[in-house]
Amino acid sequence: MFNIDNYNIVALFSIIIVLAFLIIVYLRNKISSMLDPLMYEIVWLSSNISFLIVFSFTKGVNPFAIIFLFSFLLYIVLLNKLLISNKMRYSKKILIHIYTKKTFLVYMISVILLIYAKQDVFIYMKDNNFLHWFLYRFVVLQGRDPTLRIINIGVTPIFLYLSFFYIFLLKKYRIFIFSILLSYAAILTLTGGRSSLLSILLSFGAFLVIHRNIYRKTTLEKINLYSLFFIFLALVFIIGVSTMYRPNYSYTNGIEIVLNRIIANADGLEYYMKYGGYDHIKSGFLPYILSFLGIYLKDPLGIDYKNIGEQLSELAVRHSLSFAQGPNYTLPLQVMVFGYYLYPVYVLASSLIVVKMRNMTESTSLSKNILIFFLISTSFGVVHDLEYFTLKVISFFIVYMLFFYPILNINFNFFRKKIWWCQYVWLLIMEKNI
């Protein structure tokens, strides 16, 4: 399997640092803050490109490495060309959806659904001692109740947006809601969610992307300054949680795991090039459709399908696996399954989807802003892992349409008028009877 020790670590991270700096300079007008999810996208791109460069020097130039590299470079250029400029225009706009009881009701529903979705986490924590809590992530990889997983994935962005909305915009119930948010982060961290704190910070970055025009430039500068501290704190947490995976792990082992994880973004690319992915993984329209919808279609259609990550893992270990999490289904792998000769068309189409979602702007409707927050915070998932992105979209819309959209769009004044008319008619009837 993927091991960073197979490559020159100094060269890998030196190239990552240089590339990240260059891409940040290139996309500087598109970045809203240090917590902007686009910043993580830059790190992701830098780690993948760095691996491809070092791989080519170590193993020799591979034709697929060239296709992968050009796919990433074209994607970066398209981001720069298509993403809207991030010029700050301070607008002290008062949102129509400022505080209402209905808003708080929606928030509490999100909390209740989140607690319900994490019931297996609480059961595991109750049945195991503290040191075993960190191993929960390995247990959940073996599969969990699909209903709970859909609810958890779908309600999380709603819960996070409303938490930020109350804490930073309405500034009501701040201690209460911050306590819930902090408890949520603590539970994720203690159950092996190494990047949970970083994910929450990036979600707040997506919140800033939506509402950036209500903050003065000086406020955003302060947020950027504090962001450096919180990002450092998140990295310390990630390293600390990694040391808990085995009793004999030291903090040095934790750092090695984190460094390996950064480069391991490219594990699928390595498997594809080293183990003959082109000869074993089918490409074309039908294989492409199955590559991100196969997990939903295989039971209704009665087909035996393993996703791209699992197929690549089997190539790496050279035997069939009953279960494998596998590498993420990233942009270059999508290109190969779709048809590598069409890579410019595919990268353009993927970039347009990402940019369309990312370029959405603030609405005066709370229900729309929740949707916009989800789309912005999830947009880069199109190129990170198309299969998981599909699951997130399906889960969000199931939860959003079933539990939140109806409540957020109920016109209570309409019902009040109806009730008033019913009371009026009832009184007339009663008067006649008397």
- Those residues whose C-beta lies under 8 Å from the C-beta of residue 388, and which sit 6 or more positions away, are 328, 329, 381
With CA atoms as reference, report the closest residue to 27 among 39, 13, 40.
Answer: 39
In whole angstroms, how far apart are CA 14 and each of 43, 129, 144? Answer: 13, 41, 40
Q: State both tokens at 130.
A: 């503290």
What is the residue extent of each domain of the chain? 89-434
Q: State both tokens at 51.
A: 């691996």
- Cα(15)–Cα(7) distance, integer angstroms: 13
Reading the chain (434 residues) residue by residue, the pLDDT tens digits are 777 778 888 899 999 999 999 999 999 999 988 899 999 999 999 999 999 999 999 988 899 999 999 999 999 999 999 998 876 555 555 554 555 678 899 999 999 999 999 988 888 788 877 666 666 666 665 556 889 999 999 999 999 999 999 998 888 899 999 999 999 998 888 776 667 888 999 999 999 998 877 766 666 777 777 778 878 887 777 777 667 666 666 666 667 777 777 888 899 999 999 999 999 999 999 999 999 998 888 877 778 888 899 999 989 888 777 666 679 999 999 999 999 999 999 999 999 999 999 999 888 788 899 999 999 999 999 999 999 999 999 999 999 999 998 888 876 554 455 545 555 455 555 555 54
DSSP calls for 226-293: HHHHHHHHHHHHHHHHHGGGSTT--HHHHHHHHHHHHHGGGHHHHHHHHTTHHHHS--SHHHHHHHHH
Say which amino acid occupies 273. M
Say which amino acid occupies 349. A
In degrees, rounded to 5, the angle at the alpha carbon of residue 238 between the alpha carbons of residues 234 and 243 is: 145
With CA atoms as reference, report the closest residue to 141 among 408, 384, 321, 272.
Answer: 321
Tell me: the pLDDT tens digits for 223-255? 777 778 878 887 777 777 667 666 666 666 667
Run of H or E including 338: helix 331-338
Tell me: the pLDDT tens digits for 301-325? 778 888 899 999 989 888 777 666 6
With CA atoms as reference, report the closest residue to 361 among 73, 4, 84, 10.
Answer: 84
In whole angstroms, how far apart are CA 295 and each of 138, 298, 333, 368, 388? Answer: 21, 6, 17, 30, 10
